[in-house]
Structure formats: C-alpha cells, structure tokens
Amino acid sequence: MKAVGYKVPGPIAEDASLVDIDLPRPVAEGGDILVEVKAVSVNPVDYKIRSSTPPADGDWKVLGWDAAGIVQEVGPDVTQFAVGDEVYYAGSLIRPGTNAEFHLVDARIVGRKPASLDWAEAAALPLTTLTAWEAMFDRLDVTKPVPGARIGRINALFTQVQQLWTAVDSFDTPAMQPNPADGEPATLKIYPPLSH
C-alpha cells in the first residue's frame, strides 16, 4: 500500500522529512478494523512528532491520527462494524498513522461517519472535537447539549468548544467571592459566546 513516512526526524524543509513509500497492507485481527482511508487531517501533533520522534530502528514512521474512510476488514472480535461501513476516528500514537491507503485501528475508538459530512469534514473533527468534548463535559461537567447540536467544520479546538458551548443554553458556575448579602457563593449565569 502507498503511505507517507520518514526514517529520520527533522524539519519539514529536509527532503527526507516526508517520503512516499510502499508498505505491506495490514490485516485486521482481534478487535481491529482495517479502514480504506478517504481523508485525513493534519494537527500540531503531526509536526511535533515528525520533527522530534525517531521510528524504531529500520522502520518507517507513518504520521496521521485523524481519518475518515470505509471499513475493508473486521477482526473476529469486532461486532459493531461491518465491511462497507463509513467511519471516522482519531487513532493511537502507539500505532502507525493514517497517512496511508489503509489503516488498522481499534474498533472501540471508531465512530460511524455522519452522513451529513463529506470525507474531509469528517476527518477534520475527531481529535479537536474529542478534546473540546472532554474539556467541557468530562472536566468542567457542563450539562450535555441536546441531540442535534451543531458541530464545527474546520479542525480548530476553539471552534469545537464554541460549537459545543453554543449548544448549551447556559450553565451556572460558582464565583470565587461569597455574596455579601448572605455569605454564600454568588452564582454567575454564563451565556454562549458570540460567533467569531
């Protein structure tokens, strides 16, 4: 299969920083699915790893973690996906990346591609959307939005936070100072930010 990788980390200006290569096509085993990659997105993590992380001796390092594509094979332990399903996901830093014709990924971290998104839009969402979701709903404990909430169409964390935030009517958060009238923490109403 065709892929893009490197053997020596360094700046993008070097010819060897990203090289067109041929690699064996992976085989889905266990809980993995093999995805024919239709689109990928590039994140700052790609740059950081390419410029500083060497691959194992003699191996190629293939970058890319956000992807969208079509399931080509399923491992015997996979029950939630079938060949032909359209999916999107943020892969794993400990596996070869998505900058290849085919990518092997753990089915547990894969979602079905929304029909309303094209391949590029779907590939642009996973990492930034997961980061925004976890920050708001896992860490800040914001009330989750209603089904059908909007999502952004570009790969930027702020856009994802803004889109998720505007899906929430408002939420209460305690202020740092007590209310002078009763000594209890004041409650501030926070409303969604204006569209940028």
Together in a domain, 40 and 1: yes
Together in a domain, 107 and 133: no
pLDDT tens track for 42-77: 988 888 899 999 998 889 999 999 999 999 999 999
**H-assigned helices in 23-175:** 44-52, 119-124, 126-133, 157-167
pLDDT tens track for 173-183: 433 344 455 55
Which residues 6+ apart lie within 8 Å of 59 measured at CB?
Answer: 7
Residue with tokens 């007590």: 178
Residue with tokens 């491992």: 75
* Domain, as residue range, for 107: 1-118
**Cα separation of 74 and 110, whole Å?**
12
Together in a domain, 113 and 145: no
Sheet strands side by side (includes 19-22): 19-22, 2-6, 61-62
E-strand ranges in the chain read: 2-6, 19-22, 32-40, 61-62, 66-74, 86-90, 102-106, 110-112, 171-178, 185-190
Together in a domain, 59 and 25: yes
- Final residue belonging to a domain, choices 118, 146, 175: 118
Res. 145 pLDDT band, cuts 50 70 90: low
Asked if residue 24 lies in contact with residue 1, where contact means CB atoms within 8 angstroms, the answer is yes
Together in a domain, 187 and 101: no
**What is this structure's pTM?**
0.72
